[in-house]
Structure 1
Amino acid sequence: MEKETVRIEGFSDAVFAIAITLLVLDLHMPEENSVKNSNDLLIFLKNQWPAFLAFFLSFFSIFIMWVNHHKIFKQIYSRNSGIMFANGLILFLVSAVSYPTSLLARFFNGEASSVVVGIYTGTFVLINLAYNLLWFLASRNKTLLRPGISDVAIRKIQNNYLYGFPIYLIALIFSFIVPAVALILILGLWIFWALSSGKIEMGIKKELETEI
């Protein structure tokens, strides 16, 4: 069966690359006249820690989203309008990550921290919903998927994304109570996805080997 999603994947890769590159714009150099010695530079860098934190979180969030996007399209062989628009929604939200990242970099260490973390986590709630929508639209018609994929593999992928939704909601609630805990929850979820998606892929490879 010929894969029909090559152009979708190529375009998506370009959007992910641009989105992840834009994040570095929040890392600013000090004014030349404001740094007279190494101590001044260390103080400047210390005061920039929210920007470094925001860059770290958003870089790896987009990277893990790209990894999962790549893996999900290894299972999607054909496309229809629903898949294309759901993928477009993912790309729209990925492109928007740079904005809440900028807010987090500038205001996390202030009185508005709960609001900016709420906006940040809320963005990832929407991204999670978009991924769930993409897989729902693809998996409800098995003719769109890789030939031979089992119902067990489909459910595993589905559950992998569904599990993230309540955790993102909990993180969103914690954003307005203890913002730092919300970011820790999000980081933990990304680590879970990085590990679990690898296990799912290994399971699918075993299925293919069994078929052969």
Structure 2
Amino acid sequence: MEKETGRIEGFSDGVFAIAITLLVLDLHIPEENSITNGNDLLIFMKNQWPTFLAFILSFFSIFIMWVNHHKIFKQIYSRNSAIMFANGLILFLVSAVSYPTALLARYFNGEASSVVVAIYTGTFVLINLAFNLLWFLASRDKKLLRPGITDQAIKKIHNNYLYGLPVYIIALLFSFWIPSVSLIIILGLWIFWALSSGKIEMSTT
């Protein structure tokens, strides 16, 4: 069976690459003549820690999403309009990650911290839902998937994405209460996705 998703994957890779590159635009160097010695530079960098934290979280989140996107399309061999639009929704949300990242970097230390963390975590809730939608649309017709894939493997992939949703929602709820805990949960989630992406490949071989 010939794989029909090459153009979708190529276009998606380009969007992921642009989205992950845009994140670095939030990292700024000091204004000219504002730094007179090494201590000034260290203080400036220390004060920028929310920016560095937001960059790290978002970079690895997008990177791991790209890894999982690659692995899910190793199982999808054919495409239809529903799959293309579901994939487009993922790309739309991924390309928007730079905006909540910028908000988080600028306002995390202020009174609006709970709101910006809620916007940030809410974005990833939507991305998780979009991944679940993509796999649901692809797996409901086995003819669209890799020849020889088993029902057990299809279910494992479905559960792998579905299990992340309640954790993302918990992170969203914590953002209104203890924003820092919400970010710790997000950090734990991308570690989970990094580990579970290997399970996707193992469960389908």
* TM-score for both structures, normalised by structure 1: 0.96
**2:166 aligned counterpart, secondary structure:** helix
Question: Is 2:71–2:200's contact at 8 Å kept on the other side of the alignment?
Answer: no
Question: Which whole-Å CA distance do the structure 2 matches of 1:203 and 1:68 have between them?
Answer: 14
Q: Which residues of 2 match residues 8-27 of structure 1 at below 5 A?
A: 8-27=8-27
Question: Which whole-Å CA distance do the structure 2 matches of 1:57 and 1:185 have between them?
Answer: 11
**1:33 aligned counterpart, secondary structure:** coil
Which amino acid counterpart does residue 48 of structure 1 have in structure 2? Q
Percent of residue pairs identical: 84
* TM-score for both structures, normalised by structure 2: 0.99
Question: Which whole-Å CA distance do the structure 1 matches of 2:144 and 2:13 have between them?
Answer: 21
Question: Which whole-Å CA distance do the structure 1 matches of 2:82 and 2:113 have between them?
Answer: 37
Q: 1:60-85 deviations in whole A, cap 9, x for unaligned?
A: 00000000000000000000000000
Q: Structure 1 regions of 5+ residues with no counterpart?
A: 206-212
Comparing 185-194 and 129-138, the one that deviates more? 185-194
Q: Which residues of 2 match residues 123-162 of structure 1 at below 5 A?
A: 123-162=123-162
Which amino acid counterpart does residue 59 of structure 1 have in structure 2? F
1:186 corresponds to: 186
Q: 1:41-100 deviations in whole A, cap 9, x for unaligned?
A: 011001110000000000000000000000000000000000000000000000000000
2:94 corresponds to: 94
Aligned residues: 205
Which amino acid counterpart does residue 46 of structure 2 have in structure 1? K
Question: Is 2:156–2:203's contact at 8 Å kept on the other side of the alignment?
Answer: no
Comparing 89-98 and 196-205, the one that deviates more? 196-205
Question: Which whole-Å CA distance do the structure 2 matches of 1:197 and 1:143 have between them?
Answer: 23
Q: Which residues of 2 match residues 1-212 of structure 1 at below 5 A?
A: 1-205=1-205
CA RMSD of aligned residues (A): 0.6
**2:110 aligned counterpart, secondary structure:** coil
**1:146 aligned counterpart, secondary structure:** coil
Q: Runs of at least 4 residues of structure 1 off by over 3 A?
A: none
Q: Cα distance, 1:200 vs. partner?
A: 2.7
Q: Structure 2 regions of 5+ residues with no counterpart?
A: none
**1:79 aligned counterpart, secondary structure:** coil
Question: Which whole-Å CA distance do the structure 2 matches of 1:131 and 1:125 have between them?
Answer: 10
**2:85 aligned counterpart, secondary structure:** helix
Question: Which whole-Å CA distance do the structure 2 matches of 1:187 and 1:47 have between them?
Answer: 21
Which amino acid counterpart does residue 160 of structure 1 have in structure 2? N
Q: Cα distance, 1:197 vs. partner?
A: 1.9
Question: Which whole-Å CA distance do the structure 1 matches of 2:196 and 2:45 have between them?
Answer: 35
Q: 1:81-129 deviations in whole A, cap 9, x for unaligned?
A: 0000000000000000000000000001111110000000000000000
Question: Which whole-Å CA distance do the structure 2 matches of 1:48 and 1:27 have between them?
Answer: 9
Question: Which whole-Å CA distance do the structure 1 matches of 2:172 and 2:23 have between them?
Answer: 22
Q: 1:125-156 deviations in whole A, cap 9, x for unaligned?
A: 00000000000000000000000000000000
Q: Cα distance, 1:194 vs. partner?
A: 1.0
